[in-house]
């Protein structure tokens, strides 16, 4: 491991809103403090402010949750929604970047992430950004007689004057989705939040408002951020292989998405960390306001759900796993 690189200080950005995300933020912050004592940066919780693009106030209204998050070392970072809001809440992660300090590297995480190891040991190369490779081939969805993967992705690279050929994984076959640069936006990082954020916003708006003809049959909701993200990363000199495997989405973090999925499919270590960090009374008191946490963590239903699944023989696709959880009566979010 490159110790000098791993020791470079960085800040963490998480977007938080009222509802499920506020409870996920509590779990994230609690796991960060418990599992990563070497993290020396700042934990920013970016919070969209009420405005014309929101039908209701998106901020956390519960004082106890806000106080607990501050006690866990989080700093609230207000930002204005100028382009997305209710119409595309995933755009929060794009617009929030402008509110971060611009003079330190950052790592963005979705709230539905658990820290399970020491983040200070992750050998980030902030000059070569990357993002999560824990993903499925969710976009594009090819239509009969429509353009294929190559034509669709090439049209986007051409739109922004980027080199398409150097983005390809030539170990994968032509017209197979893994050949093309595609990430889950559950985490990403770079040296400069402002530069990354400006490009992310520019690309996302250009794709939304003036897509290439090859995208005429493609849905961009909820995929817009994941369509723009690889283009941003490629344009800034990053790629799929700039972070050694096994750290994020591995022994250091887990992007679990929803608590029923965590109990059904994640390693024993992840469940142990979840229940450990949720156990202190001051944390439990807040989390019990979230029905899935109350039932799955504190009332033991998560362990009963877990016993129904063999982690070595799970469905290949997440949707099939979700359907099995729903059929068993344990689905909640």
For residue range 107-152, list pLDDT tens digits in order: 999 999 999 999 999 999 999 999 999 999 999 999 988 999 999 9
Q: Residue 3 has what pLDDT?
A: 42
Q: What is the pLDDT of residues 14-56, one digit of tens each?
A: 999 999 999 999 999 999 999 999 999 999 999 999 999 999 9
Intervals of the chain under pLDDT 50 = 1-6
Q: Classify the phi-psi angles of 62: left when phi > 0, otherwise alpha if psi is within -120 to 50, otherwise beta.
A: beta
Using CA atoms, how far residue 119 sits from 125, 193, 221, 248, in Å, is 13, 19, 32, 9
Return the structure tokens found at 49.
């402010």
What whole-number distance in Å separates Cα of residue 253 and Cα of residue 279? 19
Interacting residues of 19 by C-beta distance below 8 A, sequence separation 6+: none
**pTM of this structure:** 0.96
Q: What is the separation, in whole angstroms, between the first and last Cα of the chain?
A: 38
Q: Residue 273 has what pLDDT?
A: 98
Q: Residue 103 has what pLDDT?
A: 84
Q: Residue 8 has what pLDDT?
A: 86
Using CA atoms, how far residue 154 sits from 4, 92, 123, 233, 275, in Å, is 37, 27, 31, 15, 45
């Amino acid at each position: 491991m490159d110790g000098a690189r791993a020791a470079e200080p960085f800040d963490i950005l998480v977007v938080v809103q009222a509802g499920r995300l506020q409870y996920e933020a509590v779990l994230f912050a609690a796991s960060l403090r418990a599992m990563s004592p070497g993290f020396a940066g700042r934990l920013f919780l970016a919070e969209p402010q009420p405005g014309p693009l929101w039908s209701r106030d998106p901020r956390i209204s519960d004082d106890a949750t806000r106080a607990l998050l501050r006690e866990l070392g989080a700093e609230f970072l207000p930002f204005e929604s100028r382009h997305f809001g209710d119409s595309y809440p995933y755009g929060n992660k794009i617009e929030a970047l402008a509110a971060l300090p611009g003079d330190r590297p950052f790592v963005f995480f979705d709230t539905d992430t658990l820290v399970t190891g020491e983040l200070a040991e992750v050998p980030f190369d902030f000059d070569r950004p990357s993002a999560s490779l824990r993903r499925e081939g969710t976009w594009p969805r090819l239509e009969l007689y429509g353009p294929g993967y190559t034509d669709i992705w090439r049209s986007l690279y051409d739109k922004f004057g980027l080199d398409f050929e150097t983005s390809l994984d030539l170990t994968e076959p032509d017209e197979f989705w893994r050949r093309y640069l595609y990430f889950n936006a559950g985490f990403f990082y770079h040296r400069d939040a402002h530069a990354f954020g400006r490009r992310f916003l520019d690309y996302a708006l250009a794709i939304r408002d003036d897509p290439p003809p090859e995208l005429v049959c493609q849905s961009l909701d909820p995929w817009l951020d994941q369509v723009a993200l690889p283009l941003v990363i490629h344009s800034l000199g990053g790629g799929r292989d700039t972070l050694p495997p096994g750290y994020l989405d591995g022994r250091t973090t887990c992007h679990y998405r929803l608590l029923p999925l965590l109990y059904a499919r994640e390693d024993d270590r992840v469940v142990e960390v979840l229940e450990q960090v949720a156990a202190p009374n001051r944390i439990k008191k807040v989390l019990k306001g979230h029905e899935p946490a109350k039932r799955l963590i504190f009332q033991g239903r998560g362990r009963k759900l877990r016993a129904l699944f063999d982690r070595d023989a799970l469905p290949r696709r997440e949707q099939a796993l979700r359907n099995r959880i729903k059929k068993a009566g344990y689905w909640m979010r």
